[in-house]
């Protein structure tokens, strides 16, 4: 399955210092890459009322994604569970926590693959 990574997702993983969380995230991204369709991705949950948005629990973190098509997902955010909010509209969030900035989903994306790329998850910084 193809996947795209939003710049916001890339920034989120840059902030994570826990190597174990990053390794676990890498394992889950491999599962996404090896899946044929969105239904083949284990541990994924549809976010109720928001069409094509899904989340995945990875320890105390949440991976937010959107199904762009049957065979492509967009990795939007990777945030701590206390910060992660369900998506109400692209670019906005339902709630804020302690005056944090709202969870945003910028429209700019780049197509990346785990295989043959440099940097974490094929991202160059």
For residue 70, what pLDDT is reported?
Answer: 87
Tokens of 57: 């629990």
In a domain, residue 56? The reply is yes
In a domain, residue 124? The reply is no
In a domain, residue 123? The reply is no
The pLDDT mean for the chain works out to 74
For residue 85, what pLDDT is reported?
Answer: 67
In a domain, residue 9? The reply is yes
For residues 47-59, give the mean pLDDT.
Answer: 88
Tell me how many degrees the CA angle 61-38-109 measures, rounded to the nearest 5. 65
Number of domains in the chain: 1
In a domain, residue 121? The reply is no
| Percent of the chain's residues with pLDDT above 70 | 67
- Give every CB contact of residue 12 below 8 A, 6+ residues apart in sequence: 77, 78, 79
Residues spanned by the domain of 13 = 2-113
For residue 82, what pLDDT is reported?
Answer: 82
Give the tens place of pLDDT for each residue, 18-46. 999 999 999 999 999 999 998 899 889 99
Q: What's 23's domain CATH number?
A: 3.30.2310.20
Token pair 């569970």 is at which residue?
81
């Amino acid at each position: 399955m193809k996947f795209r990574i939003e710049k916001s997702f890339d920034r989120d993983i840059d902030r994570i210092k826990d190597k174990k969380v990053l390794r676990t995230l890498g394992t889950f991204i491999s599962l996404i890459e090896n899946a044929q369709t969105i239904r083949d991705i284990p541990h994924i949950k549809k976010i109720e009322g928001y069409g094509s948005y899904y989340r995945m629990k990875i320890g105390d973190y949440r991976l937010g994604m959107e199904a762009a098509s049957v065979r492509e997902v967009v990795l939007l955010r990777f945030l701590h569970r206390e910060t992660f909010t369900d998506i109400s509209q692209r670019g906005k969030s339902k709630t804020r926590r302690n005056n944090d900035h709202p969870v945003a989903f910028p429209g700019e994306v780049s197509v990346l693959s785990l295989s043959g790329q440099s940097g974490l998850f094929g991202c160059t910084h």
